[in-house]
Structure 1
Amino acid sequence: MKTITKFFAAAAAAVALFSATSVNAQTMTTTDATMMDSGMAFKVGVGVSGGIFRDKSPMDYAYGADLRLQWDLTPYVAITGSGGYTKLMSKNNTVDPDFIPVKGGVKVFPIKRMYLATELGAGFGIQDGAKTNFIYGGGLGYEFGGFDLGLRYEGYTNDSGSTTYFAKTGQYALRLGYNFKL
């Protein structure tokens, strides 16, 4: 199995495991009510990220910024949606695509404030003749005092008819963001 396939299989198993273990039919106590207050919350986050690519990739590094919406369904599971700007820099300066990524995902918090996340989406090319990229990714992170520090793998699959075509590739990125609770 490819590394990315193993990663997604592990993330899917973690989501299934934590979703199944947190579903219980119980009466609500005051402690449970306090925990519920920390769930069902909305957050808006802004972040910046930078990434590097593997040696085989035609890309060298990437940078970007995003706006993320997060809906905490429970203290253990959140749904996310994000949009922003990403610029990929090639090794030989032939194609430096930039696009607007729009992604949706799930965050699972197995340990308080630490999360595992998966995302899928599309990258809408900005240059003339650029086609839409398919974006997939997953990673882990930590939320503390409104800050969100995450490490992820983000893969891109591009249409060969695009003027900004590049072979299937992916970056290892670090994101620093800040979440505002609504």
Structure 2
Amino acid sequence: MNTIKIFSLAAFFLFSSVVETRAQSVPKSTFKLDVGTETMLALGTKNRDNKLGYGGTLRLNYGLTDKLTLTLTSGYYNYLKTGPLKTFNDNFQVIPVKAGLKYFFAPQFYINGEGGIAFTRTYQNQINSVATGGIGWVYKGLDIGARYETLNGSRGANFNSVGVRIAYGFKL
């Protein structure tokens, strides 16, 4: 019985968000600032020392068209070290600086891609290239997205993760 109630509620919520006629994209030639919180999970055996991550980001959106948005994103990620933690510096810390595009393929639903650099702070400070691809949903300022992100280190080390971002946008 509970499964039917949950499914019905989810279907109603999805249907009501899709039926709305106006897109939640950034209108052409306008700016929007998103403030978001992030939760990430590192993938692969190379990343076994730092699995769970959290952080915050700011994303500046500029409407190129009514469906296409230019994005500039920066923030801070902290991947927690598993096992005994000696100091906060044992964590894997990342400051990404990314530019990209967000395309609204349906009202309130988008795909996005970003690329840029990431400054990492561990026992070896590095500058890495970063690439991100994801999908998301926007409704009345709320922006919920999922993404895959990869950092390519200057010493050949890669760090891959999946993440969820929950943000709220303000028109500028």
TM-score by length of 1: 0.70
Q: Distance in 1 between matches of 2:117 and 2:91?
A: 18
Q: CA deviation at 1:39?
A: 2.4
57 and 39 in structure 1: CA distance in 2 versus 1, 3 angstrom threshold: same
Does structure 1 conserve the Cα–Cα contact (< 8 Å) formed by 2:136 and 2:144? yes
Q: Distance in 1 between matches of 2:80 and 2:128?
A: 16
Question: Once superposed, what is the RMSD of the aligned Cα atoms?
Answer: 2.1
5 Å matches for 1:8-27? none
Match for 1:50: what amino acid? Answer: T
Q: CA deviation at 1:158?
A: 1.6
Segments of 5+ residues of structure 1 without an aligned counterpart are 1-36, 161-165
Aligned equivalent of 1:176: 166
TM-score by length of 2: 0.74
Kindly indicate whether residue 76 of structure 2 is the aligned counterpart of residue 81 of structure 1: no
Segments of 5+ residues of structure 2 without an aligned counterpart are 1-25
| Residue among 101, 108, 111 paired with 1:113 | 108
Residues 1-44 of structure 1: CA distance to partner in whole angstroms, max 9, x if unpaired? Answer: xxxxxxxxxxxxxxxxxxxxxxxxxxxxxxxxxxxx93222101
Q: What secondary structure sits across from 1:38 in the alignment?
A: coil
Q: Distance in 2 between matches of 1:131 and 1:93?
A: 24
Match for 2:30: what amino acid? Answer: A
Q: CA deviation at 1:87?
A: 1.1
Match for 1:132: what amino acid? Answer: I
Q: Distance in 2 between matches of 1:171 and 1:128?
A: 20
Which 4+ stretches in 1 moved above 6 angstroms? Answer: none
Paired residues, number: 141
Q: Distance in 1 between matches of 2:29 and 2:161?
A: 32
| Residue among 17, 41, 51 paired with 2:40 | 51
5 Å matches for 1:1-182? 38-58=27-47, 59-92=50-83, 95-126=90-121, 129-160=124-155, 167-182=157-172
Q: Distance in 2 between matches of 1:77 and 1:55?
A: 33
Q: Which has the higher strand share?
A: 2
Aligned equivalent of 2:4: none
